[in-house]
Structures are given as C-alpha cells and as structure tokens.
Amino acid sequence: MRVGFGYDVHPFAEGRALWLGGIQIPHARGLKGHSDADVLIHALCDALLGAANLRDIGYHFPDTDDAYKNIDSKILLARTMDLLRTKNYQTGNADITICAEAPKLNPHIPQMQTCLAAIMQIPPDDISIKATTSEKMGFIGREEGIAVFATVLIERI
C-alpha cells in the first residue's frame, strides 16, 4: 500500500461555471483555469499520481497544450486512473478536504462522491469529501478562490 497527497488552488472569475468534484454547482462565479478548473479533481489526480510516483498533473496534462483547453477534468481523472493501472495500482480510498468560504457545499457532496466513484471504479463509500471554510481569513476567507487537499491510498493489484 502507498499513500499520496495532492493540493490545488484556483481563483474565482466572472463568467465561468463552477465545477467541483465533477459536477456543476450553482454560484455567481466559477473558477479560472486552462481546463474547467475543477480544483477538487486536480488535487485528487495529484494525490493519485504522487502515490504511484508518476510525477504530477501538469507533467501529464500541461496547461500550455491547447488539447486541454476547457477540458472536462473528469477526462483527466479517467486518464490518471489509466496511468495508475499501467503500474498495476488500484485505489483504496480517498479523503478530500475543500476549503471554500462560499458557496455552501455540503448539499452537493453525495453527488460528487457518486460521480467520482464511477470514474475511479470504487464504491462511493471509499471517497470521503469534507467542506470547511477559512473562518473569513486569507484569500479563501475573502472568497478569492478555492483550495483543495486530497489524500489517497493505493494498492498493488
């Protein structure tokens, strides 16, 4: 068994949809990024790649490549799972913490779990997603962006 850790942050921007954990969440602003800016999936991919010692998301899917412009991050997660399978790894469980002052995320967590579990081919119960705020402090507290921390366990098949 191996452990992996991932972190990502994206700033809010006007005129963008908010994608988080593979689903679209109603909010006045979305996150800015080369892809759909799904900060949760990016942190999760980095945790998975880190656990398998497969570098990081920017290495495999560079934001300078037009192929990834506005790409659905669920595709990046599916490709990350393919990369892990080439090294004979399967996912044990994931534990993810979203740091966001707004919007309220708890009502959306079950749908995120279902969405990610289908892509990762594991039960939704193996994906824990927690939402916290930054108690109005710092860039998270000023609602300038969202940060996500992810930890995963992987096992050799």
Long-range contacts (CB closer than 8 Å, 24 or more residues apart) made by 129-136: 129/21, 129/40, 129/96, 129/98, 130/95, 130/96, 130/97, 130/98, 131/97, 131/98, 131/100, 131/104, 131/105, 131/106, 132/97, 132/98, 132/99, 133/99, 133/100, 133/101, 134/99, 134/101, 136/101
> From the CB of 50, what's the least distance to Zn ion, in Å?
14
Q: Which stretch binds Zn ion (CB under 5 A): 4-12, 75-83, 98-106, 138-146?
A: 4-12
Establish if 8 lies at the interface with Zn ion (CB under 5 A). Answer: yes
> From the CB of 40, what's the least distance to Zn ion, in Å?
9
3-class state of residue 15 by DSSP: coil
Instruction: Closer to Zn ion by CB, 45 or 81: give it.
Output: 45
Q: Which stretch binds Zn ion (CB under 5 A): 34-42, 92-100, 111-119, 146-154?
A: 34-42
Single-letter code of the amino acid located at 114: T
Instruction: Closer to Zn ion by CB, 13 or 88: give it.
Output: 13
Instruction: Closer to Zn ion by CB, 8 or 101: give it.
Output: 8
- Token pair 């990081």: residue: 56
Establish if 74 lies at the interface with Zn ion (CB under 5 A). Answer: no
Establish if 46 lies at the interface with Zn ion (CB under 5 A). Answer: no
Residues near Zn ion (CB under 5 A) are 8, 42
